[in-house]
Structure 1
Amino acid sequence: MDLTKLETYKENNRLEAKAAQGGLPRSIWETISAFANTEGGVIVLGAKERKDGTLEVEGLGDADKMLDDFWNAAHSADKLSYCVMSDRDVSIESIEGKELIVIEVPRADRRLRPVYVNGNPVTGTYRRDHKGDYRCALNEMQAMYRDASDESVDTRVHENLTVADLFAETIGSYRRSYELHHGAHAWADLPDEEFLCRIGAAKVGSDGEVHPTSAGLLMFGEEWRIMAEFPHYFLDYRQELGTDERWQGRITSQDDSWSGNVFDFYRRVFNNMKQAINVPFKLDENSLRVDETEAHDALREAIANCLTNADYNERRGVVFLWKEDGLHFSNPGGFRVGIKDAYIGGNSDPRNETMMKMFTLINIGERAGGGIPDMVKKWTSSGYGTPVLSEQVNPERSSILLPLQTDEGPDCFEYAQSTSSNSLTHGDVSTLLPVSDTQLSDNERIAFRLAIEQGRVTTAMLSENAGISKLTANRTLKHLADMEVLAWRGRNKTDPSQYYELSEKLLG
């Protein structure tokens, strides 16, 4: 965080300012809980919010004493259930002779959540959204406790069911896929019951009999049996490519014409969504046409990622959409490793680890933590825009967008990460633009994307990203301000810290 530009910042879902003129604010602990249970954030003590939303430096009378008070309380279990900050996360900074305390709150590891205050998780667990800190409902706390366990949630044994209660046709389809990749493997010849135990779809229960696990039930059960154990279970795919009808095609788990389970849903949705991918003419070494590209592998990864990371105990279900701008994938439950770490990869932590293993056994998905980076690489190498991961809370959901455009611009109009500095969420911008995005030039699209991703855009930023002169960049930004897409911010026209941000009219 560049403190020299503090007065140009505004509070958002990753930044909180507190004047703290009367001592350490009591509300600071709620904000720490909120940041730790969401995506992290920065708290600045000694600054206050102006009427226009920008920050004004007040300074602290005795920053050293306040810092001591902070650490004494932070390490008390009565105040904070777990201190997620270390020494390097908290510092005293000076701006124009005034001292501030800056606290960088990291996202808490899932095993430490929920982080709560005053010794009471029921009344002291908070999260952060674009409106500020809010107290978590019971179902949000329960979801965090489920995620805190080191045991995958899909290993639970359902002793009220037997393997015979699973859908034999789906098991047969899965086994054929398995044999295609492991024809010589000893498991291929095992009876169904033993095979299901080997892949984690079944286990021996306390009664000594073999019963389905949650993974086996979700992957191979029939919808009505799954609903008996997971009352909120729902899978929904829609093709929405025009405005004349609500959708051109739909698949839901509640359609009794098919099983309604996760594995059959995967196969049906992939066969539909792959039609959105362009397949260039290409022959293999045997002069046979190659019908798949790396984009198909990326699509498989996106589908499997959402299905294996969904929290099937939560409401609103799994929703996949094929829209004109791209392929959208959304599931209940947040990213377990955080969006930044998911992009980097190397730390696989699926919510339903056994289901992920079952997909991996038939060469779908990636368990080594390289799934998301590999998906991004393969999708972009096929000529499409960069995939966008996003996360929202209240209710908690994770989303992936695979843009169908061949450049970087259009996807940003339709999909902005809820964790970005300006707190926009899916759909906020596209429906409120005063002009159609097709009316914007390439330079204007880049400026708009920067405003979304960075929370602001300057002449220098646009010049560098668009490869244009500063004079052209300045004219582009002024034109967007005239269109009321962006709004200028600064003390005067010669202010070196002046910038543009999304207009208040655009944000409603």
Structure 2
Amino acid sequence: MHLSSDKVLSKRLYHWADEMDADVLRALVALLRARSTDLTDVEAKAAAGGFPKSVRDTLSAFSNDRGGTIILGLDEGTNFGLADGFDPIRIRDALATACADDLEPPVRAEIDIVELDHGTVVVAEVAELDPRFKPCFVKARGEYNGSFTRGGDGDRRLTDFEIHLLHTNRGQPDDDRDPVPGAVLADLDDLAVESLLRRVRQRQRRAFSDLDDLTVLRRLNVITADHVPTLGGMLALGSYPQQFYPQLNATFVVYPGLTAEDVTPQGPRFLDNRTFDGPIPSIVDEAVAAVLRNTSVRSFVEGTGRRDVYDYPVEALREVIVNALIHRDYSPYSRGTPVQIILYADRLTVANPGGLFGAVTEDDLGGEGVSSTRNPVLVKLLQDVRMPESDRTVCENRASGIPTMLRELRITGSALPEFHNRINRFKVVLPRHALLTPGNMRWIDSLGIVGLSATQHMALAQMHEGGAITNQSMRNFGLDARRATTELTDLVTRGLAVRIGERRHARYVLAPTNEQLPWQPDGPTSPDPSDREAAILNALGSAALSRREIQKATGINQIATIRTLDALIASGKVEATAPPRSPHRRYRRTSET
């Protein structure tokens, strides 16, 4: 059923209809205008002359990536002003048809017509496609020419390697079972093999105690039926796996500045540069030691002993390197690509070929028991393979790596990691400093907002440094899922953050500055707090008003209204009639005023 134009313009549709989502859209458009460009997960088109063909590429890209928002009716040439001649009904119907008929599999998007700046735009929320059905492609171009992902603020065609990764993500890869051409039993380390056999016979007597060595190794997929070492067996137990795959190792570079190009004229290009070869246990051991040698350590006296605190907690460092080596892609496409460890002045990055595998998303990372293993043979072996000169195994507790990393970072007060997942690459960024630095705390204090929680302070600090926050980020700070949603919603309500993306994959970034906020574009905003207080008290009179009613009566923008109300409540001049997030919350003058 199609709505008439009059009905469309007079009615707010679907989930954007509630006031919170309408504010989110306006704030999102303000963010586009402030940055004067599209965002990675927000694409705006004028669509004044008809439905743009390039929107089909964007639908494919968002479906293959983390999802995103398409806004039609905004002209980037006029800094995202309303497009002249835009027909919302026709464009909405064309977009719905493209989603249903022009892509394979069809795109299930929420498509709405929304009022904005005294006009209308068409908004589509595109969810990420289930990994079992990727890639989503434009039918007319075929899978290998019509599959896209996001790159910067535009769409980029997927490479053959990326399409291969999406295909393997539908099932269980078995690259770690592949026999290593030219390898023989003698290429396995005798001591490592003996240790493994002894351990599995002790732990799993029924399965292995009565079997000869070769049969045990075949059952563990260390070797094939023809006694050829497998890729997983060689990586876990080989004397020198790089004889057969020279790039299946880890590289380490230390730069003196914040980027690879940040070098003084007479200074060194890098402070350290090395490659770690050998089986995975040796690579992990040497890589952790190298990072620690290149970072500072602070010593504290505790009782009769001393405690050393590194820039990066040792356990967190170990887990991030182990995860990169065991969860990377080992298909023939990427056997020429090492794990890359790069240390900058302010951060450590660890990147591996191949994005997250299976149904695990960035938002799932850090959850207890969350695991999906691309290389099951390798992971299972490393649960029983020991680290050099240690009783610890490489993978002590499956699915506990990232939770362990997060716990160690919280204990030391370090900033939490950033996860960057692409189809062909996964990167972890560990900031070198704590989140709540004096500079960040001064900035938060300058906002003049009262009643923020400690976790909201940390979220604001991370956004202030250019990062984004998700519901999972808040859970990583120690909140449960419901409380995380509540605190993020509160930041949006206060005008401090903007939500980007549909609910399941939403991320939050810092809101535009006061001057860029769109809630009251034509109204005055007094720079003097005392004038704002007087205006609000005058508007309240003897009535109880909502925050929106106060904004309408005074012309003061949202952030300034919230700050002033907080100050008036703190001084006892105004009281609220309901809790902060109640839809029935009103404000009234107290008897003192």
TM-score greater than 0.5 by the shorter chain? yes
Q: Offset at 1:262?
A: 2.6
Alignment match of 1:117 (pick from 138, 141, 147): 138
1:385 aligns to what?
A: 415
Distance 1:67 1:15, change over 3 A: same
1:94 aligns to what?
A: 115
Distance 1:193 1:274, change over 3 A: farther
Aligned residue pair count: 421
Alignment of 1:237-316 (within 5 A): 237-240=252-255, 244-253=267-276, 260-274=278-292, 276=295, 295-312=313-330, 313-314=333-334, 316=337
Alignment match of 2:87 (pick from 56, 61, 68): 61
Q: Offset at 1:59?
A: 8.3
Alignment match of 1:74 (pick from 89, 92, 99): 99
CA contact (8 A) 1:126 1:134 kept: yes
Q: Structure 1: how far apart are the matches of 2:321 and 2:51?
A: 47
2:57 aligns to what?
A: 30
Please give the per-residue CA displacement for 1:202-235, whole angstroms capped at 9, x wherever unaligned.
333xxxx2332222233333244332xxx75342
Q: Structure 2: how far apart are the matches of 1:260 and 1:372?
A: 24
Match for 1:150: what amino acid? Q
2:433 aligns to what?
A: 405
Please give the per-residue CA displacement for 1:232-272, whole angstroms capped at 9, x wherever unaligned.
5342123456875445544414xxxxx53333211221333
Q: Offset at 1:168?
A: 3.6
Q: Offset at 1:84?
A: 4.2
SS of the residue 1:270 aligns to? helix
Q: Offset at 1:25?
A: 2.5
- Larger Cα-atom Rg: 2
Q: Offset at 1:449?
A: 4.3
Alignment of 1:302-451 (within 5 A): 302-312=320-330, 313-314=333-334, 316-336=337-357, 337-344=360-367, 346-361=369-384, 363-365=393-395, 369-391=399-421, 396-408=424-436, 442-444=441-443, 449-450=463-464
Please give the per-residue CA displacement for 1:3-36, whole angstroms capped at 9, x wherever unaligned.
2335413121100112223443222110011112
Match for 1:74: what amino acid? C
1:203 aligns with 2:218: no
2:235 aligns to what?
A: 218
Q: Offset at 1:319?
A: 1.0
Q: Percent identity?
A: 23
Match for 1:61: what amino acid? D
Match for 1:151: what amino acid? P
Distance 1:332 1:278, change over 3 A: farther
| Unpaired runs of at least 5, structure 2 | 1-20, 33-37, 258-262, 386-392, 445-459, 470-490, 497-512, 526-555, 561-593
Please give the per-residue CA displacement for 1:397-455, whole angstroms capped at 9, x wherever unaligned.
22112333234459xxxxxxxxxxxxxxxxxxxxxxxxxxxxx6753597784261359
Q: Structure 1: how far apart are the matches of 2:400 and 2:235?
A: 25
Q: Structure 2: how far apart are the matches of 1:190 and 1:378?
A: 41
1:235 aligns with 2:250: yes
**Cα-Cα RMSD:** 4.2
Q: Structure 1: how far apart are the matches of 2:134 and 2:341?
A: 29
Name the stretch that deviates more: 342-351 or 236-245: 236-245
Distance 1:322 1:32, change over 3 A: same
1:148 aligns to what?
A: 170
SS of the residue 1:151 aligns to? coil
Q: Offset at 1:132?
A: 0.5
CA contact (8 A) 1:303 1:329 kept: yes
Distance 1:305 1:375, change over 3 A: same
SS of the residue 2:56 aligns to? helix
CA contact (8 A) 2:234 2:241 kept: no
Please give the per-residue CA displacement for 1:99-156, whole angstroms capped at 9, x wherever unaligned.
4332222222333222211251121111111140122232332333233332343233
Q: Offset at 1:159?
A: 6.3
Q: Structure 2: how far apart are the matches of 1:290 and 1:197?
A: 45
Distance 1:319 1:45, change over 3 A: same
| Unpaired runs of at least 5, structure 1 | 254-258, 411-439, 466-485, 500-508
Please give the per-residue CA displacement for 1:64-118, whole angstroms capped at 9, x wherever unaligned.
x544444444333xx21212425xx333333356443322222223332222112
